[in-house]
Structure 1
Amino acid sequence: MSRADRVFAYGATLGFLGDLLTGDPRRGHPVAGFGRAAGALERRLWRDHRGSGAAYAALCVGGAALGAAVAERAARSRPALSVALTAAATWSVLGGTSLAREARTIGAALEAGDLAAARARLPHLCGRDPAALDADALARAVVESVAENTSDAVVGALVWGGLAGIPGLVGFRAANTLDAMVGHRSPRHLRFGWAAARLDDALGYPGARLTAALAALAAPYPRTALATARRDGPRHPSPNAGPVEAAFAGALRLRLGGTLSYGGHTEHRPVLGAEFRPPGPADIPRAVRLSRRVGALALGASVLLSAARGARRAHPGPAAPQGGAA
């Protein structure tokens, strides 16, 4: 393993442990700072046009990744600083602990029979309308959100860190944050947010597939997880949430999917794992434990990806033969 690979391995591990121990701070989080800057830029650049949205996405995500690349290059000659920078970037882009904390908070409210508290807390985890949800529907929303956000808030970032270092970590989180801000199909963002949504889909593709595979590997029912992901994942309208939620459905042997409501609009999504029982409040801790195991495995996978990238740099393929006269 080269020095650069060791730097990423040590830094990513420290950042992962930092998230595990502290989670997201209430104030001063770098992602929140990016969101404020992106919001200010949107107010200046917004036009009801895909081209304007594409330029906006390129400026936000490209600018964040470029800044990370400059910082990474500046620290390259100082290993300790490089490790610290990688650790800080990893910690700032991961959200596994905050995800687990919010899920457990809602689960505890449901176990205590406090539907009002659970409904009030759900918007901290996902965008569904909580008012009409009973305890089982709230539990389903939490389990599905834990599954999807394991990919978005943990595995996807680590994959891109392994593939592209600090710029990969930062660029992925910037794209994911931008999608949450403008990627939804509201009248204002239907065209302007199109590029941000497509970019997030593209960058999330490898992480979603790895999340589904790791969920099966970490599951008590690995074959069931794989079979459910293969059968039901492609039926989901989201190319990335589909395999992840279906894998979690099979891994936990729970029925996910079905009718849900966002922003006053009702959607009828395919059922994932139709042969299983629906989730209840007691299944939320099970989903969180699975998410945590998947995150730890993803850290290992990112280190292996970084080492493979370093090996390719150290041992490039043979040069193409030069043409010449016979």
Structure 2
Amino acid sequence: MSAPSRSDLLATATGLALGALLDHVVPDPRRGHPVAVFGRFAGALERRLYAPTRARGALFAALAVGAPVVAGVAVDRLTRRRPVLRAAATAVTTWAVVGGTSLRREAAAMDRLLAADDLPGARARLSHLCGRDPSGLEPPAVARAVVESVAENTADAVVAPYFWGAVAGLPGLVGYRAANTLDAMVGHRSPRYAEFGWASARFDDLLNLAPSRLTALLTIGAAPAVRRDSAADAWRTWRRDGNAHPSPNAGQCEAATAGALGIRLGGRNTYGGTVDERPVLGDGRAAEPADITPAARLSFLVGATAAALGAIALSLRAAMTSRSGPRRARATA
């Protein structure tokens, strides 16, 4: 497949930026969201292919991710040298796969519930953000869960789509989102998915290695906007605690967020009756409900910067393409 032209790259950059704007102004539909449609497709495929083996799980992951990637490649080919159509397709796809605004809205809803002392309501709504057992959690523990989820999902649902969109355009956007959705569906540890979900979980880990660390660096850069002179704390905490988390990626953004906010994250979590003791990230005070709003603001700044960097990277590639084209032509003349 031929390399994208200068106009293709500029159209992709424009679409990525427009998609970021759409994420801020166009709410997700209650029904028929493209990610939900893909989830139904993946669920149907799982029912046909399931067996408690890694080999069958790898086949499932390859087919479930491969289908949207093939569709993305087809759209990419159809929109070559059609910049308006390409920008529009990229914008809509970016809007569909990026979840920054939805993430912040959930955080704001949790903040309102805790501010109104509606602890039962906050516990019930926590499932919108994470899978831990909320029963028995007091407001500080609920707040910690929200901040951790905002930090981790800023990488998974915001920075990573922009990263892969900048790297691979439309196929990168849909391929990453498909892999991340599979991880949420089958990548968790359970008797059913311990083997079948292994490939999906490992592939998602691989795709998030670079975005999670980029998220940490952007969090460090944005830290002074939520707490004065906190960039050094965020850097120090990230470097010291980022690899302490059992996930190769979640700890990166959580540690940087802990340092930026001057709080402690990590500790005891319960999932389906199983207690999970995680290392403590940061050395500040315990998380509080008042930390939710700064965490959401930090997520917004990180996401906006990631979108801008993605568009800039594509524009720089376009500039390099336009400069290298004549040299190649002369060299082959």
TM-score by length of 1: 0.94
Q: 1:110 aligns with which of 107, 114, 129?
A: 114
AA paired with 1:4? D
Matched, 1:245 2:249: no
Matched, 1:266 2:275: yes
AA paired with 1:62? G
Separation of aligned partners in 2, 1:169 and 1:222: 30
Separation of aligned partners in 1, 2:129 and 2:254: 15
Contact in 2 for aligned 1:103/1:284 (Cα 8 Å): yes
Match of 1:231 in 2: 240
Contact in 2 for aligned 1:156/1:204 (Cα 8 Å): yes
Matched, 1:95 2:99: yes
1:163-242 pair list within 5 angstroms: 163-220=167-224, 221-242=230-251
Secondary structure of 2:242's counterpart equals helix
Q: 1:154 aligns with which of 147, 154, 158?
A: 158
Matched, 1:280 2:288: yes
Task: Give the paired residue count.
Answer: 317
Separation of aligned partners in 2, 1:41 and 1:310: 39
How far the C-alpha of 1:62 sits from its partner, in A, is 1.4
Contact in 2 for aligned 1:128/1:260 (Cα 8 Å): yes
1:270-309 pair list within 5 angstroms: 270-274=279-283, 276-309=284-317
How far the C-alpha of 1:122 sits from its partner, in A, is 0.4
> How big is each residue's C-alpha offset from its partner over 1:187-237, in whole Å with a ceiling of 9 and x where there is no partner?
111000000000000001111010000000111111111110010011110
Indicate the larger mover: 69-78 or 88-97.
69-78
How far the C-alpha of 1:2 sits from its partner, in A, is 2.7
How far the C-alpha of 1:23 sits from its partner, in A, is 3.2
Contact in 1 for aligned 2:64/2:178 (Cα 8 Å): yes
Matched, 1:77 2:78: no
Contact in 2 for aligned 1:94/1:154 (Cα 8 Å): yes
- Are residues 310 and 198 of structure 1, via their aligned partners in 2, closer, same or farther at CA, if it must alter by over 3 Å? farther
Alpha-carbon RMSD across the aligned residues, in angstroms, is 1.6
How far the C-alpha of 1:304 sits from its partner, in A, is 2.9
Q: 2:129 aligns with which of 121, 125, 134?
A: 125
Secondary structure of 1:126's counterpart equals coil
How far the C-alpha of 1:72 sits from its partner, in A, is 1.4
Secondary structure of 2:279's counterpart equals strand
How far the C-alpha of 1:84 sits from its partner, in A, is 0.6
How far the C-alpha of 1:264 sits from its partner, in A, is 1.2
AA paired with 1:3? S
Contact in 2 for aligned 1:23/1:96 (Cα 8 Å): no
AA paired with 1:38? A
Match of 2:138 in 1: 134
Secondary structure of 2:289's counterpart equals coil
How far the C-alpha of 1:5 sits from its partner, in A, is 2.5
How far the C-alpha of 1:66 sits from its partner, in A, is 1.3
Contact in 1 for aligned 2:10/2:318 (Cα 8 Å): no
Secondary structure of 2:263's counterpart equals coil
Calculate percent identity across the aligned residue pairs: 56
Unaligned runs of 5+ in 1: 320-326
Contact in 1 for aligned 2:265/2:286 (Cα 8 Å): yes
> How big is each residue's C-alpha offset from its partner over 1:9-41, in whole Å with a ceiling of 9 and x where there is no partner?
211111111111123221110000000000000
AA paired with 1:307? S
Match of 1:64 in 2: 68
Secondary structure of 1:273's counterpart equals coil
How far the C-alpha of 1:8 sits from its partner, in A, is 1.5
Contact in 2 for aligned 1:139/1:284 (Cα 8 Å): yes
Segments of 4+ moved more than 4 angstroms: 308-314
Separation of aligned partners in 2, 1:84 and 1:165: 13
Contact in 1 for aligned 2:8/2:82 (Cα 8 Å): no
How far the C-alpha of 1:152 sits from its partner, in A, is 0.4
How far the C-alpha of 1:309 sits from its partner, in A, is 4.3
AA paired with 1:71? V
Secondary structure of 1:148's counterpart equals helix
Separation of aligned partners in 1, 2:316 and 2:165: 13
Separation of aligned partners in 2, 1:309 and 1:24: 31
Separation of aligned partners in 2, 1:304 and 1:81: 20
